Chains A and B, each alone.
Chain A
Amino acid sequence: MDNITEIRFAGSGGQGLILVGIILAEAAAIYENKNAVQTQNYGPEARGGSSKSEVVISNEPIAYPKATSLDYMVALTQESFSKYACDLKDTGTIITDKELVTDFSAAKGKLYIIDMVKSAREELGKLLGLNVIALGVLVEISGVVSKDSIEKALMKRVPKGFEDYNKKALEIGFRLGREAKKN
């Protein structure tokens, strides 16, 4: 089962993590003709509460649809970081934000603490798009799908008039990922 990659986006409801999970799965399934399964957990609240979106990508048919030991996790709340870090493989990678998470005691595997919120605020002017920045970071660091595929998948999903904004957010993510890899 070595060719299976398991990714989890975790944070709070309203951060747009389910959507980026779907976009990642579409990039893999539609634009790279791999197999991909996206699942999510949610509570009865329409807004707020915790949110978890998982993507399993493989060249082979995927049997069990949920993640069992994560290769990558993007954690955008302290709660999700502390709660889910243990699900990571020893060789896995966590991507998190410098402002949103401050207690890294649960950390496991390789840890990237990245200024995503700060960049969103400074370069986009608002936090809308933080999810896409995180997606860009993940793709840059993991290489699980190509930048071209993720951009195509993203463009298919964003509402009209928001293409440039989202492309910019994705580019910020790629850049932050590149910088993080260098350090």
Chain B
Amino acid sequence: MSENIKLMQGNEAIAEGAMIAGCDFFAGYPITPSSEVSEILSAKLTKKGHIVIQMEDEIAALGAVLGAALGGAKALTATSGPGMSLKSEHIGYASMCEIPCVIVNVMRGGPSTGNPTLPSQADIMQAKWGTHGDHAIIAITPSSVNESFYETIRALNLAVKYRTPVLILTDEIIGHMREKVIIPEKDTLEIIDVKLPDVPPSEYKPYNYKSGKVTPLAPMGEGYRYHVTGLSHGETGFPTAKMEVLQDMQNWLIDKIYKNIKDIEKYEETMTEDADILIVAYGSVSRSAKAALSMARAGGIKAGLFRPITIWPFPEERIKELSKKIKKILVPEMNMGQIILEVQRAACNNIVKGLNIVSGEPITPDKIYLKIKEMM
């Protein structure tokens, strides 16, 4: 037996992943089914000498995270549906001001208070469109406890690298199930840390819309005095209403993510080479889909699985490619049909059907298998 193997909950894996990735600030607000993240960090991140604070609401929690991040923190917050709605305001601010942060959403049913203890995948579109205005977002949907651990590390890295909020969209099943995680040695991991800009303060501009490179965010209090505002701003950070700057700024907020999609996107394919039907599934549902895949293959149906790990930006190029040879696509989701819209867009000449179960019960493999048979 190895000391490095641990059985842990998905939420615990997020907390452990955050710590090993160098997260040094957490602010949260209690909400089921995400509270374990803040409870574990309250007990353990503090022992490393870092701040964990329970704020007065979800808005304040992300506000504190962004304040700390402007001071140079690698900061995280965790929540679920209703809390995510509140955080939307500051997700917009973080996008606009390009402040790195990671927001964990352990999805539960909705709308409104919904089903606090039951799983759901109903916040996929909210993740992309929840805040007002145009922006791009990175969102990750882990499908196991082990992946929750490693994807949290990647989320913190991506946040710093692209100066953007990164969302981890897990669900009640992944968040609360216990599974094996092999904890790596820290020095075997790629960790992207916050660093000072490589120019002196007199030459520093906090934003850069044209060069295609992401300007590092200078931690405040280190000699780089600059202004941060949620108003549309130029490269100096000060508000502007100059039309060409507004266009450049908006282009940049989208381009910095989409032009780097090869670096950001991540997906897994299972038996897609010879498939006649493709299942597109993510998060806990992808596990049911994998089991259904075995059932289908055993039943003589050539099914394949495409599992987005990065759900936003959506890996539409790959879906487009696959759709050229696989004509039927099934998208099972624990919502009324969200990511299927992206799949339909990418595979517009194909038969794309959804399997949508929102009763709070996980989608079982046999239900997916039944739908596969129905489509063949």
Residues of A bordering B, CB below 8 Å? 1, 22, 25-26, 29-31, 33, 35-44, 62-66, 68
Indicate whether B365 reaches chain A with its CB closer than 8 angstroms: yes
Q: How far is the CA of A64 from the CA of B295 in the complex (A)?
A: 12
B54 at the interface (CB under 8 A from A): no
Q: Which chain A residues border B176 with CB–CB below 8 Å?
A: 39-40
- Report yes or no: A35 in contact with B180, Cβ–Cβ below 8 A: yes
Question: Could you tell me which residues of chain B, from 266 to 312, have a CB within 8 Å of some CB in chain A?
Answer: 284, 287-288, 290-291, 294
Q: Which of the listed residues B173, B178, B290 has the most CB atoms from chain A within 10 Å of its own CB?
A: B178
B17 to chain A, nearest CB (A): 18
Residues of B within 8 A of A36 (CB): 7, 179-180
Number of interface residues of B (CB under 8 A): 23
A-B pairs with beta carbons under 8 A, tally: 68
Asked whether A38 lies within 8 Å of B7 as measured between CB atoms, the reply is yes
Contact in complex: A63, B290 (CB < 8 Å): yes
Tell me the complex Cα distance, A62–B119, Å. 19
Contacts of B1 in A (CB 8 A): 30-31, 33
- Closest A residue to B295 by beta carbon equals A1
Known: A63-B288, A64-B364, A68-B364. Is A30-B5 also a contact (CB below 8 A)? yes
| Chain A residues whose CB sits within 8 angstroms of the CB of B5 once the complex forms | 29-30, 33
Q: What is the bound-complex CA distance between A65 and B283, given in angstroms?
A: 12
Q: How far is the CB of A25 from chain B (nearest CB, A)?
A: 6
Residues of B contacting A66 with CB < 8 Å?
A: 173, 362, 364
B361 vs chain A, min Cβ distance (A): 9
Question: How many angstroms between the C-alpha atoms of A8 and B176 in the bound complex?
Answer: 16
Q: Which residues of B contact A63 (CB under 8 A)?
A: 287-288, 290-291, 294, 365
A146 to chain B, nearest CB (A): 12
A30 touches B7 (CB 8 A): yes
Q: Tell me whether B178 and A22 are in contact (CB under 8 A).
A: yes
The interface residues of chain B lying within 8 Å CB-to-CB of A40 are 176
Smallest CB separation, A144 vs chain B (Å): 15
**Complex Cα gap A31–B5 (Å):** 9
- Residue numbers in A under 8 Å from B290 (CB-CB): 63-64
Q: Which of B7, B117, B294, B366 contacts A42 (CB 8 A)?
A: B117
Which A residues are CB-close (under 8 A) to B366? 68
CB proximity of B179 to chain A, nearest CB, Å? 5
Q: Which residues of B contact A42 (CB under 8 A)?
A: 117
In the complex, chain A residues whose CB is within 8 Å of the CB of B173: 39, 65-66
Q: Which B residues from 318 to 376 make CB contacts under 8 A with A?
A: 362, 364-366
